[in-house]
A and B are shown apart, each in its own frame.
Chain A
Amino acid sequence: MGRKTNQEIFEKISLICKGLFTKSRVRDIPEFVVPKENIIELEKRLKQDGFNMILDLFGVDFYDNQKLKDYAEVNSRFAIIYHFLKIPDNERIRVIVPVEDGESVPSSCSLFIGADWFEREVFDLFGIKFDGHPDLRRIFLPEDYEGYPLRKDFPTKGVKEYIGTKYTPNFVRLKDRNKKHTEPLDPFEEGSRMVVNVGPTHPATHGTFRMIFELEGEDIVGVDLEIGYLHRGVEKNSENMRWEDFIPMTDRLNYLSAYLNNMIYTEMIERWCGIWDDVPARAKFIRVILGELSRIADHCVSIGTMAVDLGALTPFWYLFRLREEIYTVFEWAVGARLTTSGTAFGGVRKDLDEKTINHINYIVDKLVPEVIRDVDGLLTKNRIFIDRTRGVGKISARDAIEWGFTGPSLRGSGVAWDIRKVAPYGLYEEFDFDVPVATEGDVYSRYLVRMEEMLQSARIVKQALKNLPDDGIMIKSDKFANIPRLPEKKYVYTQIEPLIHHFKGMVEGVVPPFGWYYFGGEAANGELGYFAISYGKRTPWRIRIRPPCFAIYQAFRHMVLGHKLADFVAVLGSINVIAGELDR
């Protein structure tokens, strides 16, 4: 099956959606500017054509920047940007909907249910309302918070000092279970239902987020999720820092596999600036090696904590032993264990030495198969474990795509969707590996997928180590003057010319070309994407992070409804929600 080029997709969509858009062009992907009245009709036609996922939905505030408005070809202060994705053809288009302050946009929830939380996020951070949204509340910030932080005129310190966490639950309920309860109840009313609050500090919430359950006996009949306890305003902060200063911020997204976040972010900037081909192969190999190791570490935590929540404490220790060894590698190869910041624009910060390579070899040859075998023996065929996980938290492939699932959770539902395979980035096209798929879509499937993925990652690392080239770890090209190739320190201290270069390099940093760019890669939980807007200055105009577990966690409500209280921990463990990535 030949993959369509952007131009072909552009022509096809132009034909299908004729008359609905005002402007159109092909940039990194085809783009269409659509007035907000037409967005629902456009979505309907896209859906007919097979576009089945809203990958991302976010707002942009152009404020008074006429140049950016011209670039986007909109004439309003805000724009809402939709990324549509077609699985499994990997066709992507971008739709830009101009919005003025105070206007509202029709909600996409009726067509793409996965837009639910994304729209709430836009409402929360930009104050743009969505008509027809079933549950339009603020999502990260307390409901009585003043101001919309991602607007450009919002002061970084806030409109006024705020202390408190006002939150009104709005339950998603199980329909038709018990006739007398079909009408909405006051959630805290005394009755046959018991409202149990779980989190933000609870043994089963690995991270800080809150779940409120309505129980009938042990059955979950209503759920509400509150997130935002770890909202640090990463996207807002990014507007006040240089492009390379954002690398450490990416560590704090999915902090279990920080290296993958670094890797995808740096690769985005490199591809955007057009220097990707000049990055030395050794650096790319090192990125793949460390990235896959951190994917193994991430899956270790995911499986281990799920097992702990199911009462099996021992697999957790086996897996954490493996993770510990991987972190030792990170300590030697990068210098940090958890928050690696290991990549730099144009390469990696530190080379792998002999000791590290030997240790990585030991890990992928010996330790990973051994640990997987042990955990496999304890869990995979264990009757109790199977009873606890099979058929629990089930989600069909269709629903999973609609909710915006990516990564192991989607593959657990039977969709062989892995960006490393369908649109190889990094150097993944050079390695031989399989994409594991399980068909059931329950907790057990996701567990199996993760287990197999660890072995596949080890396979990739093995191949990469075997063919590790030797051409330096930092870009040498002079084509790209923007990347500061810093002179060596001894010259900086003694000569004027290097000093000037050093100074300019440090102060100005990297400035990507004017405009915007999207790049997504396969992080441990799914597609982690960065959408960035550069306005020609040394700080970004906006960096949007597409977090994989944000889309997955919104479906959690529907995955646990009707199950027992004890099941929610299994489901939560299997989708691996990381609060740092969820809240940003």
Chain B
Amino acid sequence: MIVGTSEIVGLIIKAGIVLFLALNIVPIMVYAERKVSAFIQRRIGPEKIGIYGVIQPLADALKFILKEAFYPPGANKFFYYIGPMISVLSPLLAFMAVPLIPILQPIRTELSALVVIAFSSLGVWGLLLGGWSSDNKFSLLGALRSSSQFISYEVSLSASILAMLIIYGTFDFVKIVEMQGENIVKWGVLLNPLAFLTFFISALAESGRIPFDLPEAEAELVGGYHTEYSGMKFAMFFMGEFVHLALTSCVMIILFFGGWNMPFIRISSLLPPDYLFTPVLEYAIGFGVFSAKLLLLLGIFIFIRWTWPRFRFDQLIRFGWGTLILLSLISIVISAIIAVL
């Protein structure tokens, strides 16, 4: 494959933009999580730094950066440092194949669904290596839990993605979104609600948040796999979790909620057809729609987190292998029937 300079530059610019957007999810999530949890719990939340405390995430980041770069004496230094990096890099890499709008997809490939699954599955290595290398029993238990949890739920996650791919007949996220269009009857969530359900639960489990936050269950395991981490290395795990959550939400929007399509109204019909900036405006509106859907989903995730207790490990695994995989297999069958019809 011959690539020209302009293509490489374009790729770098696109990748830069996606990276910027994906990483900016983190401060937004940090702030939203603090404010929403405060709202749910009848507290005020951050309010001192900036108006309504909007600069709080920046202060958090500064605190993380300024902390001592400590590592436990018994730790395996290499793996200890590489763990958080893997955990933040893998969802970021997966983001490269996620089209927020059609042109903003650095890895433009027919197999974008596979690329996303492949990269996001790597994230568990970070937790496993980090937990194992930090020479702490709580970390080790957390790492073991996280690996078995993520691998278990990976199965049903992939199965429910597969169910949707069967319906759409393609691996290409852009084509999937275009097929759904503005008519919500064609959106994945209505085509196969069961697949959506299994995907949603698996995504929740993959993100490692309540009610599936067993790897870091702070009550019994102190901090789980990141017990021994502090400063920027801890922040990387933290970022990895949020970026991963945003990633699965994006995939969910693309597969089930029509991506950048506005419900009921075709975006291009709103704009004058022969205006010079029409395509740009179309993309901008599409991006806005996508962002709105993303924020809504993330809000739901936050609400769930502050409402529910946590599963126990055996219940989690039983639920994953017993109920969820069964449901996701049924959803594949449903998809197959829909596809044949």
Contact = CB atoms under 8 A, between A and B. Distances in A.
Nearest to A386: B309
B312 interface: yes
Given A317-B43, A382-B308, A382-B309, A311 B210 contact: yes
Contacts of B311: 384, 387-388
Nearest to A317: B41
A565 B221 CA distance: 9
Nearest to B38: A317
B222 A203 contact: yes
A430 to B, nearest CB: 36
Contacts of B138: 196
B40 interface: yes
Nearest to B145: A218
B238 interface: no
A566 B309 contact: no
Contact of B41 (A314, A382, A388): A314
B162 to A, nearest CB: 28
Interface string B160-189: 000000000000000000000000000000
Given A311-B213, A314-B307, A567 B312 contact: yes
Contact of A204 (B141, B220, B307): B220
B306 A314 contact: yes
Contacts of A565: 141, 220, 313
Interface string B206-227: 0000110110011110100000
Contacts of A309: 219-220
B219 A569 contact: yes
Contacts of B306: 313-314
B217 A196 contact: no
Given A314-B41, A378-B307, A564 B222 contact: no
Contacts of B315: 387-388
Q: How large is the interface on B (under 10, 10 to 19, 20 to 34, 35 or more residues)?
A: 20 to 34
A272 interface: no
A198 B310 CA distance: 20
Contacts of A313: 37, 41, 306
B301 to A, nearest CB: 15
Given A317-B41, A564-B314, A385 B309 contact: yes
B38 to A, nearest CB: 9
A307 B211 CA distance: 13
A387 B211 CA distance: 12
Interface in A283-325: 307-314, 317-318, 321
Interface string B139-168: 001000000000000000000000000000
B42 interface: yes
A311 B313 contact: no
Interface in A79-134: none
B12 to A, nearest CB: 42
A40 interface: no
Contacts of A218: 141, 313-314
B266 interface: no
Contact of B308 (A202, A312, A318, A567): A312
Interface in A182-223: 194, 196-198, 202-204, 218
Contacts of B222: 202-203
A386 to B, nearest CB: 10
Given A317-B41, A384-B211, A311 B312 contact: no
Contacts of A568: 220
B217 A311 contact: yes
A357 to B, nearest CB: 25
Contacts of B312: 387-388, 564, 566-567
Query: Which A-B residue pairs are the 7 nearest by beta carbons?
Result: A311-B310, A317-B41, A309-B219, A312-B309, A310-B309, A569-B219, A311-B309
Interface of B: 37, 40-43, 137-138, 141, 210-211, 213-214, 217-220, 222, 306-315
